[in-house]
Structure 1
Amino acid sequence: MSESKVNSLGIIGMGLMGGAVMKMTGAGLGWDADAARCVNAPAASDVFESCDGVFLCLPNSDVVRAVLGAATLRPGQIIMDTTTGDPREMAAIGAELLARGVHYLDATVSGSSAQLLQQDVLVMVGGDAAVFERCRDWFASFAREVIHVGPCGSGAKMKLVTNLVLGLNRAALAEGLAFAQQLDLDLTQTLDVLRRSMAYSRIMDTKGEKMITQDFTPQAKLSQHLKDVRLMQAASKLPLPLSETHRRLLEKAEALGYGEADNSAVIQAILEP
């Protein structure tokens, strides 16, 4: 393998994010637990045995550990984990793999799979800086910007911080639109005014219309963000009062049947009894 970059690339986890990463990077192999999503790789071992670099696009750290535990890895191989997981667990995985000569980067993504396809995401990478540089070209193929944020686990930490603020922006927009509806305001005009006002956040551009039209086709699933909020609370030594309220809203939306819907469906936790 070249010391300047990774030569061959594969994907483990071919959901929304993994499929988008494959398209943008041109990776040749992709495996998923859903056989219908697999690309040139009937088994996960096909990816690990053939590729110098492997992206993991998985639901959580437990799945990451299970997949890596069953894999045959070789010294010098690079694992790039986009999973929004437990920072402590990701740091531990990095240390364990390093002892086997395998490199691990927790390369978390700020943005949806749709934004990744537009090369409009930020990637926050934890791990060895030299290994990060070797993989920069792969990240640059789908990211607007790539930042090395520290040792293993740091990418996951930064993702939780950004997701905390992002999720609260989304919840605030949902509450604002629900309030506007109660006041008999035109919601399309309300969204336009919000975008022009000091209240503006980019979440209005990606989730505002979805909330108004109730088009909850998933870009990022609500249940996944609920998982993230629980990780934030577990990682924090301080109370997170706004995130606690947000968690309860997400749990209500999930109980109403919106767990697999887009995370903009949090508005339904406010609108529905």
Structure 2
Amino acid sequence: MTSIAIIGLGIMGLPMATNLVKAGYDVTGFNRSQEPIDKLVEAGGKGATSIADAVKDADVIITMVPDSPDVEGVVRGEDGVFANAKAGALWIDNSSIRPDVAKTLAEEAVAAGFGAVDAPVSGGEQGAIDAALSIMVGGSPEHFAAAEPVLNAIGKTIVHVGPAGAGQTVKAANQLIVAVNIQALAEAVVFLEAFGVDTDAALKVLGGGLAGSKVLDQKGQKMLDRNFDPGFRLALHNKDLGIVTSAARSVGVTVPLGAAVAQLVNALVARGDGGLDHSGLFKLTNELSGKDIS
């Protein structure tokens, strides 16, 4: 049985770990807080007391943490993955981080005798629960082939998109598209409500036409219900849009819509709404129109 260590049991990481257990893998999890570890154990997995403890016997190591510095902290240092995993282990980073950091860390991993792929995911909490994530993978063909069976247990669309760092580049593009779509949906719902339209009916018919999208399917009802419980937090999308705008600038690419939405997301985070779902853009869009939805 393949032994998998997963570091980071948050909104996405815990259901991913649970699906790996369901797929028959021997799964050991570590998280900074204890409650998610206990939930993984209840689901049939094992808990670890440290990163080193989690990875020492693992064939595959998955990291699912918030940002580039978090991934660096998990894999580097005397208590990290690289210093404690067994030779030949495969490292899969499902986090969403800077492409240049992903490339550098993959090079360090390979130099230390490990396999490595950057494999950020898209699909939000529900996609993680349903094992229906879209996963864009960067790394060598050989390392992708080794990672693919594991990724098939947590995702539905798994695509090798290029060398190390390429997965994170495609994920940045994904986050650009998602953010602009959420903002457009928020504006449309505010517009519809201002005219007193039956919004349930409106979203149903819009979803069946060219305006239809997974964003509309997953976020439209949350806006109508004023339910911004996080499936993907604004704080994380803010981080991702920072990656997009910085990377675009570095290669001379202009992303005017992305830059505008990045500022709106940053404003929400700056005022304390970073813990809301990214559909919380609807709140700010209402306020800019002089409406209060609290």
Matched, 1:225 2:237: yes
CA contact (8 A) 2:121 2:135 kept: yes
Q: What residue number does 2:88 align with? A: 76
2:140 maps to which residue?
128
In structure 2, the partner of 1:175 is 187
Q: State whether residues 174 and 266 of structure 1, in contact with CA within 8 Å, keep that contact through their aligned partners in structure 2.
A: yes
Q: Does 1:245 align with 2:269?
A: no
CA distance in 1, matches of 2:169, 2:193: 36
Equivalent residue number for residue 65 of structure 2 = 58
| Alpha-carbon contact 1:177-1:190 (below 8 Å) kept | no
> 2:16, 2:131 within 8 Å by CA — same for their partners in 1?
no
User: In the alignment, does 2:25 pair up with 1:21?
Assistant: no
Unaligned segments of structure 1, at least 5 residues: 1-5
The aligned length equals 268
Where in structure 2 are the equivalents of 1:1-273 lying within 5 Å? 7-26=2-21, 27-38=26-37, 39-70=46-77, 71=80, 72-236=84-248, 237-273=252-288
What amino acid is aligned across from residue 139 of structure 1 in structure 2?
L
Instruction: Give 5+ residue unaligned stretches, structure 2.
Output: 38-45, 289-294
**Offset of residue 204 of structure 1:** 0.9
In the alignment, the residues of structure 2 paired with residue 118 and residue 14 of structure 1 have an alpha-carbon distance, to the nearest angstrom, of 16
Per the normalisation by structure 1, the TM-score is 0.94
Give me the whole-angstrom Cα distance separating, in 2, the residues matched to 1:89 and 1:257: 28
Aligned-pair distance for 1:126? 0.6
- How far has the Cα of 1:73 moved from its partner? 3.1
| One-letter amino acid of the counterpart of residue 11, structure 1 | I
Tell me the CA shift for residue 269 of structure 1: 1.1
How much identity, in percent, do the aligned residues show?
Answer: 27
Q: CA deviation at 1:256?
A: 4.0
**Matched residue SS, 2:47:** coil
Which amino acid is 1:66 matched to?
A: G
Could you say what secondary structure the match of 1:124 adopts?
strand
Q: Structure 1 CA distance, aligned partners of 2:267 and 2:192? A: 21
Whether the 8 Å contact between 2:58 and 2:85 is mirrored in structure 1 is: no
Deviating beyond 4 angstroms after TM superposition, the runs of 4 or more aligned structure 1 residues are: none
- Per-residue deviation, 1:185: 1.9
1:181-212: per-residue Cα shift (whole Å, max 9, x none)? 22222222221232133211121110000011
**1:258 and 1:121 mapped to 2: Cα distance?**
26
Paired residue secondary structure (2:155): coil
* Contact persistence 1:35–1:42 (CA under 8 A): no
Work out whether residues 88 and 114 of structure 2, in 8 Å CA contact, stay in contact via their aligned partners in 1.
yes
